[in-house]
């Protein structure tokens, strides 16, 4: 699922256009219906419909292996999820993963972008190195890192022992597994934030650096006084997009640890997957999905409020580019 800043900001000030025939407002109802139909039909079938269906299901004892909604359960599914330690644990794992990944993914991306901004040549090389992993499928990333983390045979252990540390049991130790998954994720998705920051850096007027240099500011002061404050809006955007993306984690855990060891890395999406498709408790899984959706929604709402306040700036920045 995607998200954007400018798009949402620019949608508000949209005066209704029309052919320039003053005094005779013309309605394009039929054409509009035809243009909207293909999208709206698929949208209702595959987004809105399932969303409502899921909401209804969450109030029933629906089962994957039996037809129909079956008996009405009221709020029982919700009560059960909220009282289930498995649900809370998986929600906590997802949040823990978000806490572990968001700071490095924001800070390192910022540092890398500031460094790259000061290097005139070889842009393509840095983009290749940092961004290429982002376009790889999670399964490819997982296979490569499973091998790197292989006890005694993996490169990660070799690197750690070569600097005199003891190799942790990367994915097999409950205390380490989530950290290892976070390292993999930082490697995998940092490039996206890096590119967002590079774009933000382009917006800073050269003259500000020149002026500060004339005032005798060294490079370190320039970064602290000019670059980082002026990147504030980009940082707000990167942080919230990153939090939302991290909350939706599923792939890494599913492939690399299958939620283990001892369920210590089972994310909330995998919990939903397990109860819905392994235990066949569809109604209950739908209720858990709704609760998870509310968490993501609350954070998205914060993001919308943040960007709304900045909408003028974003709209100006977006220009004509898509």
Partner 1 sequence: MTTIAHPAVLGEQEAPAAHALAATVDRRIRLFNRCCAGILIALALIWLVPLAWAVDTALKPNAETTKITWWIDNPTFDSFRAIIRDTDILNWYASSFITSAISAFGTVVTGSLAAYALSRMRFRLRGVVFWFILIGIMIPQQVLIVPLFRELDSVNLLNTYWSVALPQIPLAIAVFIFKQFFDGLPRELDEAARMDGASFFRTYRRVVMPLCRPVVSAVAIFTFVWSWNNLLWPLLAMTNPKLMTIPVGLATVQGTYGIRYADTMASAILGALPLVLVFLLFQRRIVEGIAGTGLKG
**What part of residues 258-287 is at the interface with partner 1 (CB under 8 A)?**
269, 272-273, 276-277, 282, 285-286
- Closest contact distance (angstroms) between CB of 38 and partner 1 is 4
Angle at 245 between CA 242 and CA 250, to 5 degrees: 140
Give start and end residues of each alpha helix (H) in the chain. 6-10, 29-43, 49-57, 76-83, 85-117, 123-131, 138-148, 155-162, 174-202, 206-214, 219-222, 228-230, 232-247, 251-256, 268-277, 282-309, 311-318
Q: Does 179 interact with partner 1 (rule: CB under 8 A)?
A: no
In this chain, which of 107, 119, 312, 316 binds partner 1, going by CB under 8 A? 119
Residues 6+ apart with CB under 8 A from 263: 86, 89, 90
Of the candidates 93, 56, 87, 138, the one whose C-alpha atom is nearest the C-alpha of residue 273 is: 87
Q: Does 136 interact with partner 1 (rule: CB under 8 A)?
A: yes
Of the candidates 263, 265, 206, the one whose C-alpha atom is nearest the C-alpha of residue 230 is: 206
CA dist., res. 131 & res. 117, Å (int):
16
- CB 236, CB 270: distance < 8 Å: no
In this chain, which of 14, 85, 163, 305 binds partner 1, going by CB under 8 A? 14
Of residues 288-307, which lie at the interface with partner 1 (CB under 8 A)?
289-290, 292-293, 296-297, 300
- Closest contact distance (angstroms) between CB of 178 and partner 1 is 19
In this chain, which of 22, 23, 24, 26 binds partner 1, going by CB under 8 A? 26
Q: Does 70 interact with partner 1 (rule: CB under 8 A)?
A: no
Binding piece for partner 1, criterion CB under 8 A, among 75-83, 85-93, 97-105, 117-125: 117-125
In this chain, which of 171, 241, 243, 253 binds partner 1, going by CB under 8 A? 241
Q: Does 164 interact with partner 1 (rule: CB under 8 A)?
A: no
- Closest contact distance (angstroms) between CB of 294 and partner 1 is 10
Number of residues that bind partner 1 (CB under 8 A): 127
In this chain, which of 72, 75, 92, 125 binds partner 1, going by CB under 8 A? 125
């Amino acid at each position: 699922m995607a998200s954007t800043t400018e798009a949402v900001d620019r949608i508000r000030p949209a005066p209704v256009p029309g052919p320039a025939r003053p005094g005779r407002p013309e309605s394009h109802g039929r054409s509009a219906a035809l243009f909207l139909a293909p999208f709206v039909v698929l949208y209702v079938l595959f987004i809105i419909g399932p969303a409502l269906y899921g909401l209804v299901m969450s109030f029933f004892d629906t089962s994957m292996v039996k037809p129909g909604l079956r008996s009405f359960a009221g709020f029982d599914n919700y009560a059960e999820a909220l009282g289930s330690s498995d649900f809370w644990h998986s929600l906590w794992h997802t949040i823990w993963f978000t806490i572990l990944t968001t700071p490095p993914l924001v800070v390192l991306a910022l540092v890398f972008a500031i460094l790259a901004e000061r290097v005139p040549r070889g842009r393509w090389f840095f983009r290749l190195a940092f961004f290429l992993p982002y376009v790889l499928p999670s399964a490819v990333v997982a296979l490569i890192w499973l091998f790197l983390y292989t006890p005694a045979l993996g490169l990660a252990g070799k690197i750690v022992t070569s600097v005199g540390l003891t190799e942790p049991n990367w994915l097999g130790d409950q205390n380490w597994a989530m950290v290892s998954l976070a390292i993999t994720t930082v490697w995998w998705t940092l490039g996206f934030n890096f590119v967002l920051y590079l774009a933000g850096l382009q917006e800073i007027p050269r003259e500000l650096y020149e002026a500060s240099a004339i005032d005798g500011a060294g490079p370190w002061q320039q970064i602290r006084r000019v670059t980082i404050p002026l990147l504030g809006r980009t940082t707000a955007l990167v942080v919230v997009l990153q939090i939302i993306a991290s909350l939706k984690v599923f792939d890494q855990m599913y492939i690399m640890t299958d939620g283990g060891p001892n369920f210590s890395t089972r994310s909330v999406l995998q919990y939903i997957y397990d109860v819905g498709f392994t235990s066949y408790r569809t109604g209950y899984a739908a209720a858990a999905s709704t609760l998870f959706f509310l968490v993501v929604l609350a954070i998205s709402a914060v993001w919308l409020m943040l960007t709304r306040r900045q909408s003028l700036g974003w709209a100006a920045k977006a220009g004509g580019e898509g």
